Amino acid sequence: MTTDLHSAQSAARLVAQEGVDRLDRFVQAHRPDLSRSRCAQLIKEGWVLLDGQAARPSSPVRRGSMVDVVVPSPPSSVLVAQEMPLTVVYQDAHILVVDKPAGLTVHPGPGHPDHTLVNALLALAPDLADAGSTGRPGIVHRLDKDTSGLIAVARTNVAYLSITRQLKARQVSKTYVAVVTGTVAREQGEVDAAIGRHPRHRKRMAVASSGREALTRYRVLTRLPGHTLVEAYPVTGRTHQVRVHFAHIGHPLLGDSTYGKASTVVGRHFLHAARLGFHLPPGELEWREFEAPLPEDLTAALAFLGG
């Protein structure tokens, strides 16, 4: 296969001139510096578009197909400890539970190489540098940058493996408080809809039959004028799951400019990880639940809405 190539550092547009090939093989043929597994990962993460659409590694590339490839810059391999104020809800020799503020990214990545939760945690607990992933030490689950609330962090590999196992076995209890737009009719319910990468917007997720299984249960706490205060219990842990699922049923989160629209009432999406429960490592003999109150911005927004 030959191509017309217009590249700008990490971005390239490839136009297939002949033959038929799998998308991952096609990309790898023109980026020999990348392994085929890395190409497949980029495709799954939405960094590769086939004729302007998200695709699968096995999707066929035909003559005339246009393939856009973006290879994001890798985060720095050197993680710097940076002192920042953190609210630690619980800590022992194996774990930390932190009440993450909104606006704080969990770990370094493209666009935010430092001043993340990981950088702050390394200053607070240098021992977690050896726990779990090299680039994301201690991180076993994540919260969106603008989602506030509880996140568990492993200080040891034993704790990292323990909490990771509990998450995969769906033994970790998560409760989110959210304000959604509109009036949710049912007192309680669930949204069982697979979630995958948005077909056109690589930074967004969407309900898609080809996505991964996703289940969110919820119950109504209070109905407000034009809005509903709910508790959400994600059974699975997909990216943006609560936000995508409520948008899917016609009730996007208040202030969610990605899946709904921005609001003058609150400067971010109204979503807070209020409760988190799991068995404490290393022995997993004790079940503990932790709570974090609504932060000031969400409390003020709720009061404004009459809650």
Q: Which residues are known catalytic residues?
A: 144
How far is 253 from 259, CA to CA, in rounded Å? 8
> 209, exposed or middle or buried, with CB in 10 Å at 0-12, 13-18, 19+?
exposed
Diameter over CA atoms, the chain: 63
Token pair for residue 229?
């205060």
Tokens 């999707």 sit on residue: 59
How far is 294 from 29, CA to CA, in rounded Å? 51
In the chain, count H helices and then E strands: 6, 18
How far is 28 from 17, CA to CA, in rounded Å? 16
At residue 237, what is the residue type?
A: G
φ, ψ of residue 85 in degrees (nearest 5):
-65, 130
Q: State the distance between the two ends of the chain, measured CA to CA, in whole angstroms.
A: 62
Closest among 20, 27, 4 to 60, alpha carbons compared: 20
CB 130 within 8 A of CB 157: yes
